[in-house]
Amino acid sequence: MTTMTNSSPLETIYLKDYQPPTFLVESIKLHFSLQPERTLVTNTMRLKRAAETSTKQPLRLDGRQLELIKVTLDDQLLAADQYRVDQESLVIENPPAKFTLEIVTALNPKGNTSLEGLYASGSMFCTQCEAHGFSRITYFPDRPDILTCFTTTIEAPQKEFPVLLSNGNLIDQGTLADNRHFAVWQDPFKKPAYLFALVAGQLTTLQDSFITASGRKVAIHFHVEDQNRDKCAHAIAALKKSMRWDEEEYDREYDLDLYQVVAVDDFNFGAMENKGLNIFNSKYVLAQPESATDNDYEAIEGVIAHEYLHNWTGNRITCRDWFQLSLKEGLTVFRDQEYGAQAYPGGGRRIREVRRLRNFQFPEDAGPLAHPVQPKEYVEINNFYTCTVYEKGAEIIRMLQTLLGVAFLDLRVYAIQRVHIAKMLLQLLCFYNYIVSGHFVSTSSRANLRPWIKS
């Protein structure tokens, strides 16, 4: 993700308290009946108790600002005394080892001014789920180590919301009574809830395509407001360049049949890498020679590449918990910097990156907001989308690559041995954090680190 704002409860979360999930979500089917002031969400999940979980452990699902309408467990409607619900969660005591849970909730997208979860803005519905926005949409274990396959049905009035989008591939669509229509999206890859996305509104779709290294055709759809249809050529070209670059440099091919980008003024964050459906604020997509500067063109290419490169570093290879934020952001910034070095050769870009580091990250590290790349605790994770986590994290990856050689970032191995390598990277990050504590490590101490890294 690129830039954030915040909200949420005041409770300190500690890394040392991490516990593996007690229940796993095998699959989730979501049905949205969209109305600006009262949207109904039906969430049907297949859940199972994790092997190491004791049978006494209740099921606890996160959920905020939701109106709970009903809960059904294996087709049995639960009475109010069979679950507990409060401001933050829904708890079911003694659930079976394996079961289907259907939860119906209502929410008010128009009244959602937090801009997390599902919100209505202007004539659009839009979502933002990183870091914990999904729990404003439905009850779910909203943590990055819960990955599941999403199938999403969206239903809305056809005239006001002709375009209905979610992650993955479109598998069905049609019309309904009362001038409504629907679309069904299926994402075949497991993903954490923070990568879920939904967009509905009046958008114009620009179509292009990309042939992958193995010869697969990927459709590219850019959805924009109609008056912006002539301003996407640069962003589409940049996307295709990044797709090719990731194949050539990291042997990473795009994995779905469709890659979608939505660019709207109503998206308050910079850009978000939702799986197969990136959402951008228009300023990071739209450009035409009459009004955009060279810097605008370069910035658009940078953000498009960053969000695309997340498809592997972040989306397919994701974080265990939010303390690992830099494992996706630092690593992806490093990768987009490497992309930029090739797209804009000559070294000027690298000088600007270092300048940015010195002008923003160094003061952060020298001031009251100093924090490690991997924090040990947080009250609000949205406050950690910082230069330290992003840019310093990227520099640490760069140092590791210098020390360990290019092969250390072999994403083929990384994808297969995610847990093992993530652990190793983390240990290295922690160690570097400890050593550098605000300063970059000197050449002599690098030499001292070598034996430790080798071991």
Quick note: the x/- pattern for Zn ion over 223-242, rule CB under 5 A, is --------------------
Judge residue 181's burial from the number of C-beta atoms within 10 Å of its C-beta, 0-12 exposed, 13-18 middle, 19 or more buried.
Answer: middle
Choices 166-174, 326-334, 405-413, 427-435 (CB under 5 A): range interacting with Zn ion = 326-334
- CB of residue 416 to Zn ion, shortest distance in Å: 23
Nearer to Zn ion, 201 or 302 (CB): 302
The one segment of 101-109, 245-253, 257-265, 323-331 that binds Zn ion by CB under 5 A: 323-331
Min CB(307)–Zn ion separation in Å: 7
Answer yes or no: 391 catalytic.
no
Q: Which of 130, 307, 329, 364 is catalytic?
A: 307
* Chain length of the chain: 455
Residue identified by tokens 């042939």 is: 211
Quick note: the x/- pattern for Zn ion over 9-28, rule CB under 5 A, is --------------------
Closest to Zn ion by CB, 103 or 305? 305
Residue closer to Zn ion, measured from CB, 201 or 330: 330
Cβ(374)–Cβ(321) below 8 Å:
no
Residue listed under structure tokens 């849970």: 101
Question: How many residues at the interface with Zn ion, by CB under 5 A?
Answer: 2
Rounded CA-CA distance 405/185 in Å is 41
- Shortest CB 399 distance to Zn ion, Å: 20
One-letter-per-residue 3-state SS of 104-156: EEEECCCCCCCCCEEEEECCEEEEECCCCHHHHCCCECCCCCCEEEEEEEEEE
Shortest distance, CB of residue 365 to Zn ion, whole angstroms?
20
Query: Closest distance between Zn ion and the C-beta of residue 329, in Å?
Result: 5
Closest CA to 193 of 218, 169, 166, 219: 166
Q: Which is nearer to Zn ion, 142 or 329 (CB)?
A: 329
Site string for Zn ion, 254-293 (x = CB under 5 A): ----------------------------------------
Candidate ranges 70-78, 255-263, 329-337, 432-440; the one touching Zn ion (CB under 5 A): 329-337
- The interface with Zn ion within residues 369-388 (CB under 5 A) comprises none
Q: Is the peptide bond before 213 cis (omega within 30 degrees of 0)?
A: no
| Of 155 and 329, CB closest to Zn ion | 329
Continuous segment of H or E residues that includes residue 45: strand 39-49
Q: Which stretch binds Zn ion (CB under 5 A): 105-113, 235-243, 328-336, 348-356?
A: 328-336
CB-CB neighbours of 358 under 10 Å: 10
Min dist CB 385 to Zn ion, Å, is 9
Nearest Cα neighbor of 143 from 24, 11, 310, 271 is 24
x/- mask, Zn ion, residues 157-196, rule CB under 5 A, reads ----------------------------------------
C-beta of 166 vs 274, nearer to Zn ion: 274
171: left (phi over 0), alpha (psi -120 to 50) or beta: alpha
- Cβ at position 248, least distance to Zn ion in Å: 21
Question: Which lies closer to Zn ion via its Cβ, residue 4 or residue 164?
Answer: 4
Nearest in space to 437 (alpha carbons), one of 371, 381, 386: 371
Stretch that binds Zn ion, among 30-38, 160-168, 324-332, 373-381 (CB under 5 A): 324-332
Q: In the block, which residue shows the tokens 């005394």? A: 81
Q: How far apart are CA 196 and CA 194, in angstroms?
A: 6
Cα angle: 380, vertex 133, 207; to 5 degrees: 130
Are 187 and 273 spatial neighbours (Cβ–Cβ below 8 Å)? no
Catalog residues that contact Zn ion under the rule CB under 5 A: 1, 329
Q: Hey, which residues are catalytic here?
A: 307
